Structure 1
Amino acid sequence: MATHAVHTRDTGPRRRIEFDKHLPVDHRLNTVYRIGAGLIGAFLVAFGVLGLIHHIGYFDTGGATVTGLNTNGTLSVLSICIGAILLVGMVIGGNVASTLNMVLGILFLLNGFLFLGLLDTPNNFLAFKIQNVLFSFVVGLLLMTFGMYGRVGSTLPHDNPYWRHRHPDAVEREHPADGG
């Protein structure tokens, strides 16, 4: 019988979760993390490259539009960098892609709120318009959804490491520790 590397109880104030070694590589949720990161990353890279091809100034706040979104050189470079990070997360997969999706999703949401407040001000250095803000919100929610898929929910399977971490007593009843 395989042993699982999930802590059942910690005596200290912090509980740490450890994963079965095979789960991040072979688990069916890995595909969701990877595809989500890859599709959004590829779009961001393409958007950034198209923005750079148009030779828009780096801090130009004019009305330069690429694929329906306002852009400037700085936003184009930033989009390429974030897209590349998401593509790397797709290649690595597993918990790295999941966590990366969640973190970047939160950052996209915060960025949307920040630039919503900066619309029509001289401080709008990424040349955001309302369509950029909406795009930032949608991408943020999508990335967070991809990242949380399989981590949260009321119907997680019992082989899921997050379910195991939240229900250590049930794990102990299902897989009693080997005596000896």
Structure 2
Amino acid sequence: MQLQDHLPVDHRLGQVYRYSAGAIGLFLIVFGILGFTDNVGFFSTNGDHVLGMTSNGTLSLLSVLFGALLIYGAVRGGNFASTLNISVGVLFILSGFVNLGLLDGDHNFLAFHMRNVIFSFLVGLALMTFGMYGRVTTHLPYDNPYWRSRHPEAARVNPLPPRALPH
């Protein structure tokens, strides 16, 4: 299975990619802004509590940057938003593993605690799931635009029924 850039962009799955990137991006921006308002040190390893998690200046900045990137993906939409969701989701999963190893050490420069690690895993899984939704599977229905672009000969034999026009 491959993610291909030439796949159709004008389908209703694009809304899943857009809304998921926009919602998670908006949450990250709010989290980052609230982290900045507490005036915690930029590299403080203790951090301050924001929305049930800990944050410092570095984590707040990264949250705003990744939130803005996801908002950009939501605005751009289509396959770009899907691929961006998958890529950022992988980064969140990797961040969760790295910061899990740094929890009790002196190198915890993002002030992560266990709630942050769990949040990183959950957001990563959500972004990856929404990015792959309808795009990566072994059993796509024949009317899925990704299936149709991967099987053009079968799509010509089985054309889609015309959509009912509104009255």
TM-score (normalised: structure 2): 0.86
Partner SS for 1:38: helix
- Specify every segment of 5 or more residues in structure 1 that has no aligned partner in the other structure, as ranges: 1-15
Deviation at 1:123, TM superposition (A): 0.8
- Mapped contact 2:148–2:155 kept (Cα < 8 A): no
In 2, Cα distance between equivalents of 1:111 and 1:164? 36
Q: Is 149-158 or 32-41 further displaced after alignment?
A: 149-158
Q: Is 155-164 or 74-83 further displaced after alignment?
A: 155-164
The letter of the residue matching 1:32 is V
Deviation at 1:153, TM superposition (A): 2.6
| Corresponding position of 1:148 | 132
Deviating beyond 3 angstroms after TM superposition, the runs of 4 or more aligned structure 1 residues are 159-162
| Corresponding position of 2:60 | 76
- Mapped contact 1:17–1:165 kept (Cα < 8 A): no
In 2, Cα distance between equivalents of 1:173 and 1:110? 39
The RMSD of aligned alpha carbons is: 1.9
- Percent identity between the aligned chains? 56
Structure 1 residues 18-37: aligned runs within 5 Å: 18-19=6-7, 23-24=8-9, 26-37=10-21
- Specify every segment of 5 or more residues in structure 2 that has no aligned partner in the other structure, as ranges: 158-167
Report whether the alignment pairs 1:172 with 2:149.
no
Report whether the alignment pairs 1:130 with 2:122.
no
Report whether the alignment pairs 1:100 with 2:88.
no
The letter of the residue matching 2:116 is N
**Count of paired positions:** 155
Larger Rg: 1
